[in-house]
Structure 1
Amino acid sequence: MKFDRVLFVAGALFGAAGVALSAAASHGGSTNVATAANFLLFHAPALIALSLVVAGGRILHVGAAVLLVAVLLFSGDLLARDFLGQRLFPFAAPIGGTGMILGWLMLAAGALFARKDG
């Protein structure tokens, strides 16, 4: 499967999971569930948009991949704490949060240094 499709599918799944988790949070879920839902919902449209422009260069490609993995780590750790009573692994959420920052910065750099066609 091409990476642009992976990003689009991940964005759509992030959106669906974010809506479902928002509902769960509003019906007695913890703040971890609400925070994970927000991060999934915030990043869903970004991943879908990136799926349309990822061919713009290697930096955009890597930045999108970093963002995808980082959101999964961050939200996954918060949800594991709430639903499983334990972390994914030590420092998973901070690594995910730092990864999201790095991913966004890589996307900015990718846009600045993208090759112009035409």
Structure 2
Amino acid sequence: MRLRGWLALAALLWCLPGWAADYYIKITNNTGYAIYYIYVSPQSSDEWEEDVLGADILPDGETLRVNLNGYDSPYFDVKLVDEDGDSYTFMGVNVARRDLTVTLDDLDWGY
């Protein structure tokens, strides 16, 4: 009976919201242009987080791993801006299941 009680408590605690986790996403640039800015924000956010590239760039053909630590959901919005100022926006990306390969087909036409 005691073991059952502990298992029930463990199951309850596992289901409670607010458990922070660490995620990552690999972003591959196949646009033909260098990417100068990458913004990754929780899907629940109304604003973009800081640029994860900082002073670096993501050259065409290269892949970058972005670590996302301490979040309680794997859903993120991702925005990239290339050397010409063109943007590529992906909303609601489940980073636990998907990485991004960005091409010119992903160009934001209406932003």
Return the TM-score normalized by structure 1.
0.24
**Structure with the higher strand share, 1 or 2:** 2
Q: Give the greater-gyration-radius structure (CA).
A: 2
